[in-house]
Amino acid sequence: MSVVQLGTPSRIVAEDELRPVLAKAGLELSGPLIDDYRTLVSSLDAAIASLPDDKSILPYPDLLKYPRTDIHVTVKCVKPAGGLLSGRTVALKDNMALAGVRCTNGTSMVDWTPNIDATVVTRVLDAGATIIGKAACENSCLEGMSATAVTGQVHNPFQKGYSAGGSSSGSGRLVATGSVDLAFGCDQGGSIRIPASSCGIVGLKPTWGLVPYTGILSLDATIDHVGPMAKNVRDCALFLEAIAGPDGWDDRQPPFGLDGERLKFVDPVDLILGKESANMLEGFRIGVLDEGFEVPGQDPNVVASVRSAINKFKALGAEVNPVSVPLHKEAPLLWTCALPLSGGRQSLLGDMDGRKQLYLTDRAELIGPKLSQAQFDALGPGASNMYIGYLWMQEKYGAKIQGKAMNLLKASSDAYDKALKEFDVLVMPTLPYPPPRLPEPESSEGPLNYLTRTTGLIANTCPFNNSGHPALSLPVGFVPAREDPTVKLPTAVQIVGRKYADVDCLKVAAAWEREFDWKAL
């Protein structure tokens, strides 16, 4: 690292300050070297002290233009105007910044009230929607089952005592029960699609970078996605059109691939819906992913329901054929190995180095270079497991394992791209089994038993966080709960498209939804 400036700092770091830092890293330096580095580190301190305040450039909301009222547990935020979402109500997942409203991220680990709005918050308000509150999310957004939110368990809208999915658990339930028209979900391993499937609604994980993640708490920038959850496909398209496109902050949003035509979703869906049934998907090639039906522990009722739904695409004019992507089976393992080092740092410690983006510095100030015992104790099973994995990987492996996993991910992403040259979309079950029963609210079971309930849950969802392809969950029927066959819970098909061809997922889903009533199947 070159030295930009080297004057005479007003304060020189003492030797007994620097030596413990070096010793912790296993370094021992001679007296002359120590003196040199005392001066160099002192210059770094001086540079840090001279940084101007960043608050002047933060995107503070105009509270006269975007007023908010009734800020208690819920909040009402409305910009009275017409627009794409005029008259619609929206819920924000509680890992999204809304100025003046506490953001829990599903945990009591940090008490943080942001003073900015996430980019997509401003966009839905500009589109005429009314934000009526925050939706519960799972602890640190690291659970696939709805039992760990700091505000309490979230029950499946079709059967109390069963999971609504996670981590966007509250969003799924609120849309399913009609409490809101639309809700935001954020998805790093399936957190939009898991609750969408569990609650019988439509959820889309957009193409990576299509929708800006600015002002939203990250898990890992390489897999962070924010997207729409809605009662039906057209509303999902409407919502996506209102929030997609570059914002000038999120460095994952390239200027190419995001032209005006690629940001239009409603008109193409309406065009499909205006066709006769047998011609709706004429010319569409749908690939049925073999490996998506070969997940260990997969429920046969889910397989039967999804295969039956896929066969119905033929009646809509689509060509439906099997396709194999063998690397699909390896993708969850790569996701598992790539996450702890970067996720522990970015998600739990708030360290977002290496990015050109909006940094949530006020929240980062509340967390040290490592978690305190109290902060660790406030984590749920998934988050505490990731933090322990982060510490272990950092100590035993360093950066090489994460790098190896990330390199290997390129091959699986390329394999999906190759399959999508032959097919317009790929289809498979969203989840391998129906929503599990929730543990007792005051259960003291350990993380191993808790996490065993959702083993393999993200086998078909996390591969597309790795690759960045758009993936939509569409409800297609009910299946018996594993714990009680008299209980019937939703299941769904996942529709995966080419990057930046989110509209193809929406078209295919809209056609099926118009012709078939999933609740009757």
Q: How far is CA 424 from CA 7, 166, 419, 428, 498, in A?
A: 62, 29, 9, 14, 7
Q: What is the pLDDT of residue 492?
A: 99
CA 208, CA 468: separation in Å to the nearest integer?
5
Q: Supply 433's token pair.
A: 């089994």
- CB-CB contact of 379 with 139 (8 Å): yes
Asked if 183 and 163 count as a contact pair (C-beta separation under 8 A), the reply is no
Q: Please name the residues in contact with 225: beta carbons below 8 A apart, sequence gap of 6 or more.
A: 186, 187, 188, 192, 205, 206, 208, 211, 213, 465
- Set 42, 43, 79, 93: catalytic member: 93
Distances (CA, A) of 486 to 80, 114, 480, 481, 483: 47, 45, 6, 7, 9
Catalytic residue of the set 191, 218, 342, 413:
191
Q: How wide is the angle at C-alpha 303 spanned by C-alphas 301 and 305, nearest 5°?
A: 65
pLDDT tens sequence for the chain (521 residues): 544 455 666 788 889 988 887 787 777 878 888 888 888 778 767 776 776 777 777 788 888 888 877 665 556 666 556 799 999 999 999 999 999 999 999 999 999 999 999 999 999 999 999 999 999 999 999 999 999 999 999 999 999 999 999 999 999 999 999 999 999 999 999 999 999 999 999 999 999 999 999 999 999 999 999 999 999 999 999 999 999 999 999 999 876 667 777 799 999 999 999 999 999 999 999 999 999 999 999 999 999 999 999 999 999 999 999 999 999 999 998 998 898 889 999 999 999 888 889 999 999 999 988 889 999 899 998 998 888 888 888 888 888 888 898 999 999 999 999 999 999 999 999 999 999 999 998 888 888 888 889 999 999 999 999 999 999 999 999 999 999 999 999 999 999 999 999 999 999 999 999 999 999 99
Tell me which H or E stretch contains 241.
helix 233-243
The residues pairing with 497 across neighbouring beta strands, listed in sequence order, are 425
Single out the catalytic residue among 43, 167, 168, 467.
167
Question: Which pairs with CB-CB distance under 8 Å and at least 24 residues apart come from 52-60?
Answer: 54/359, 54/361, 58/115, 58/116, 58/358, 59/116, 59/117, 59/119, 59/122, 59/214, 59/215, 59/249, 59/358, 60/99, 60/115, 60/116
Q: Write down the pLDDT at residue 3.
A: 43
Residue 290 tokens read as 């073999």
User: What does pTM read for this prediction?
Assistant: 0.91
Q: Do 141 and 95 contact (CB within 8 A), yes or no?
A: yes
Q: Is residue 342 annotated as part of the catalytic site, yes or no? A: no
Running DSSP on this structure, what letter comes out for residue 448?
H
Let me know if 191 is a catalytic residue: yes
Choose among 219, 432, 412: nearest CA to 331. Answer: 412
Which of 496, 84, 469 shows the shortest CA–CA distance to 264? 84
CA 290 from chain centre, in angstroms, equals 25
Cis previous bond, 218, omega within 30: no
CA distance 62 to 125: 12
Q: Largest alpha-carbon pair distance within the chain?
A: 84
55 included as an active-site residue: no
Could you tell me if 290 and 323 are in contact, meaning their C-beta atoms sit under 8 angstroms apart? Answer: yes
Contacts of 250 (CB under 8 A, 6+ apart): 119, 209, 212, 213, 214, 357, 358
For tokens 């050109």, the residue is: 356
User: Cα torsion for 212, 217, 223, 228, to the nearest 10°?
Assistant: -50
Q: The domain 57-333+401-520 is classified under which CATH number: 3.40.50.1010, 3.30.1360.40, 1.10.3720.10, 3.90.1300.10?
A: 3.90.1300.10
Distance set, CA 150 to CA 92, 136, 261, 272, 274 (Å): 16, 8, 41, 42, 45
In a 10 Å sphere around its CB, with 0-12 CB exposed, 13-18 middle and 19+ buried, how is residue 406 labelled? middle
- Alpha carbons 375 and 395: distance in angstroms, whole number: 21
Helix, strand, or coil (residue 217): coil
**What's the CA gap between 135 and 94, in Å, rounded?**
6
Q: Residue 161 and residue 147: Cα distance in Å, rounded?
A: 10
The predicted pLDDT at position 396 comes to 83
What beta strand segments (E) does 38-126 contain?
68-69, 76-78, 89-93
